[in-house]
């Protein structure tokens, strides 16, 4: 193509297909992607609940007891179960994608993808273990 070639953005004879609003149903990969994006809502939900918890904690034992009672209602248990599944999906898909973004080079060689993924899972396990330890010891 010569440098002078002229680009005609709206050439009358060229056919342009519109992207349908249902594009994400075209194949499984797209659907998986949209689902992964959706998980952010549930991550936000967990963050919101945690903030609420901190607030009631600061307000004193009565408020905190009411918060705990609220968490025990069937609606909240169901919500948490659903949110947990989505957050699990969120974590696993993102961990598996981590080596795409993080390229570690040790003495010139690229560290294999499974090591980067493995380190993410290891950190997850260690942190979850630490939290479990604190929570269970506090009982």
Partner 1 sequence: MQPAVTLRVTRYRPEQESEPTLATYEVPYRKDWVVLDALNYIKDTLDGSLSFRWSCRMGVCGSCGMKVNGSPKLTCASFLSDSLPGPIRVEPLDYFPVVRDLVVDMSDFMRKLKKVKPWIIRHDERPLAEGEYLQTPDQLDAYKQFSMCINCMLCYSACPIYGLEPSFIGPAAIALAQRYNMDSRDEGAPERLEILSEHDGIWQCTFVGECTKVCPKHVDPAGAIQQYKLTGAIHWLKSLLLPRGAR
Q: Where on the chain is the footprint of partner 1 (CB under 8 A)?
A: 1, 5, 7-8, 11, 13-17, 19, 23-24, 26-27, 29-30, 33, 37, 97, 100-103, 105, 108-110
CB of 27 to partner 1, least distance (A): 7
DSSP secondary-structure letter at 105? Answer: E
| Nearest distance, CB of residue 26 and partner 1, angstroms | 8
Across-strand partners of 105?
Answer: 110
For residue 3, report the phi and psi dihedrals to the nearest 5 degrees: -65, -25
Please state the closest distance from residue 122 (CB atom) to partner 1, in A. Answer: 21
Given a contact cutoff of 8 angstroms between Cβ atoms, the answer to whether 33 and 74 are in contact is no
CB closer to partner 1, 30 vs 84? 30
Stretch (H or E) spanning 67? helix 61-71
Question: What is d(CA 56, CA 109) in angstroms, rounded to the nearest whole number?
Answer: 51
Q: State the minimum distance, in angstroms, from the CB of residue 85 to partner 1.
A: 21
């Amino acid at each position: 193509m010569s440098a002078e070639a002229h680009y005609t953005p709206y050439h009358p004879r060229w056919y342009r297909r519109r992207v349908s609003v249902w594009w994400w149903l075209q194949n499984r990969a797209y659907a998986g992607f949209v689902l992964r994006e959706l998980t952010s809502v549930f991550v936000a939900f967990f963050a919101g609940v945690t903030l609420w918890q901190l607030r009631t904690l600061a307000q004193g034992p009565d408020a905190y007891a009411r918060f705990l009672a609220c968490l025990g209602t069937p609606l909240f248990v169901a919500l948490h179960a659903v949110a947990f599944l989505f957050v699990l999906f969120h974590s696993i898909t993102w961990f598996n994608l981590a080596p795409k973004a993080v390229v570690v080079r040790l003495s010139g060689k690229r560290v294999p993808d499974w090591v980067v993924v493995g380190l993410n899972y290891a950190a997850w396990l260690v942190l979850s273990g630490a939290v479990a330890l604190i929570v269970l010891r506090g009982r």
